C-alpha cells in the first residue's frame, strides 16, 4: 500500500487529535508499518479509505481504539531504570509520609486519608505494581511506624483498554517477569499459575486501574501525593507536554512529587516545579515560592 504526502498529513493530524502523539515527517514508515494491517483488516484499499472510516466514527469507538493501539508503544518493565525505585524508597516515601502526617495534624486532610500515587500511562501494569512492591517493602522494613500498605493507594491509568485489561489481570509470562524482578520479590509478590506469574491479592489491593487519555479533559480524579509519568510525554509536542505538566501541578498536594522518564524534563515547558537530584534521580516538587 502506498502512503501519499496528503494521506500522511491527514492521518498524522487525526492521530495527534485522538491521542496527542506527534509524528514528525520522518515517521511515515510508522504509519505504513503499523496502520497497513489495520487498513487491510477493515477492507480498505488505501490509507485515504482508512482515514475516511476513522473520521466517520465518533469518539472512542473500536476502530479509533485500534488505531491508538497500533500507533502507541507499550514497552515497559518492572523497576524500569532501577534508580527511580531506589529513590522512591530512600527519599520519596519518607518525604510523602512526613508531609502526609503534617497535613493530617493540621487538619487539612481527613484522618483516614490515603497517600495517593498516580502512575499516568501505566501500560501493562509493571510500573504501578513496582511502586506497590516498593511501598510494601518500605512498610515491612518498619520505616513508617503506624503506616500499613492500606494507607497507600496507587492509580494506574492508560489510554489503551487492551493494556489496562492486562494490567488488571496482573498476569505476566516468563519473559515479562524476568525483566527487572529479583527471584525474592517474584516469590513474595507473585503466584505461579500454568507458567505465568500472577500478582498476589495483597499487592493488587493497593492498585486500581482506569482509562484516562492525558490529552483530553478527564475530570476530577483527586489530588495526589506523587505523580509518576514516564516515557509517554516524549511522544507529544511541547504545547501538549506543557499543558499536561500544568495539570499535574494542579493535581498535586503542596510538596507533592512528580517523577518523569529518563528522556523527559520540564525544561522550557513550565517553571512551576522545583527540580532537584535525589541520588541519580531528578525529582520535581510542587513548592510554593514564598
Q: Which of 4, 6, 33, 74 binds ligand SAM (CB under 6 A)?
A: 74
Q: Are 270 and 242 in contact (CB under 8 A)?
A: yes
Q: Any alpha helices (H) in the chain, and if so which ranges? A: 5-19, 28-41, 47-56, 62-71, 83-87, 93-105, 126-140, 161-169, 174-178, 183-189, 201-204, 238-250
Q: Is 168 helix (H, G, I), strand (E, B) or coil?
A: helix
Using the rule CB under 6 A, is 264 a contact of ligand SAM? no
Q: How far is the CB of 133 from ligand SAM (least distance, A)?
A: 15
Which of the residues 204 through 263 are near ligand SAM (CB under 6 A)?
A: 213-215, 230-232, 261
- Give 76 or 266: the residue with its C-beta nearer to ligand SAM: 76
Task: List the one residue out of 216, 202, 282, 204 whose CA is nearest residue 247.
Answer: 216
**C-alpha grid cell, residue 46:** 488505501
- Give 127 or 176: the residue with its C-beta nearer to ligand SAM: 127
Q: How far is the CB of 85 from ligand SAM (least distance, A)?
A: 12
- Give 213 or 255: the residue with its C-beta nearer to ligand SAM: 213
Residue span binding ligand SAM (CB under 6 A) among the ranges 15-23, 28-36, 46-54, 59-67: 15-23
Using the rule CB under 6 A, is 76 a contact of ligand SAM? yes
Using the rule CB under 6 A, is 158 a contact of ligand SAM? yes
- Give 147 or 209: the residue with its C-beta nearer to ligand SAM: 209
Q: Within 13 Å of residue 263, how many CA atoms lie on the same side as its CB?
A: 7
208 Ramachandran zone, left/alpha/beta (phi>0; psi -120 to 50):
beta
Amino acid at each position: 500500500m502506498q502512503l501519499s504526502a496528503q494521506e500522511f498529513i491527514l492521518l498524522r493530524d487525526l492521530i495527534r487529535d485522538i491521542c496527542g502523539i506527534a509524528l514528525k515527517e520522518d515517521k511515515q514508515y510508522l504509519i505504513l508499518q503499523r496502520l497497513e494491517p489495520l487498513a487491510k483488516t477493515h477492507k480498505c484499499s488505501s490509507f485515504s479509505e482508512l482515514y475516511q472510516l476513522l473520521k466517520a466514527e465518533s469518539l472512542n469507538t473500536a476502530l479509533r481504539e485500534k488505531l491508538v493501539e497500533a500507533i502507541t508503544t507499550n514497552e515497559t518493565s518492572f523497576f524500569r531504570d532501577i534508580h527511580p525505585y531506589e529513590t522512591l524508597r530512600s527519599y520519596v516515601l519518607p518525604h510523602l509520609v512526613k508531609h502526609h502526617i503534617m497535613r493530617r495534624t493540621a487538619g487539612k486532610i481527613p484522618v483516614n486519608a490515603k497517600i495517593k500515587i498516580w502512575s499516568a500511562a501505566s501500560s501493562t501494569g509493571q510500573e504501578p505494581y513496582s511502586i506497590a512492591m516498593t511501598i510494601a517493602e518500605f512498610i515491612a522494613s518498619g520505616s513508617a511506624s503506624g503506616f500499613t500498605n492500606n494507607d497507600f493507594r496507587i492509580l494506574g491509568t492508560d489510554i489503551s483498554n487492551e493494556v489496562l485489561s492486562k494490567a488488571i489481570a496482573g498476569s505476566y509470562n516468563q519473559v515479562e517477569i524476568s525483566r527487572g524482578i529479583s527471584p525474592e520479590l517474584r516469590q513474595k509478590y507473585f503466584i505461579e499459575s500454568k507458567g505465568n506469574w500472577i500478582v498476589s491479592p495483597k499487592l493488587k489491593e493497593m492498585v486500581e486501574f482506569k482509562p484516562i487519555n492525558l490529552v483530553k479533559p478527564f475530570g476530577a480524579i483527586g489530588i495526589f501525593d506523587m505523580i509518576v509519568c514516564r516515557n509517554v510525554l516524549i511522544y507529544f509536542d511541547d504545547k501538549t507536554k506543557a499543558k499536561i505538566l500544568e495539570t499535574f501541578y494542579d493535581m498535586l498536594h503542596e510538596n507533592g512529587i512528580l517523577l518523569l522518564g529518563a528522556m523527559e524534563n520540564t525544561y522550557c515547558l513550565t517553571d512551576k516545579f522545583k527540580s532537584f537530584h535525589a541520588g541519580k534521580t531528578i525529582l520535581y516538587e510542587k513548592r510554593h515560592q514564598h
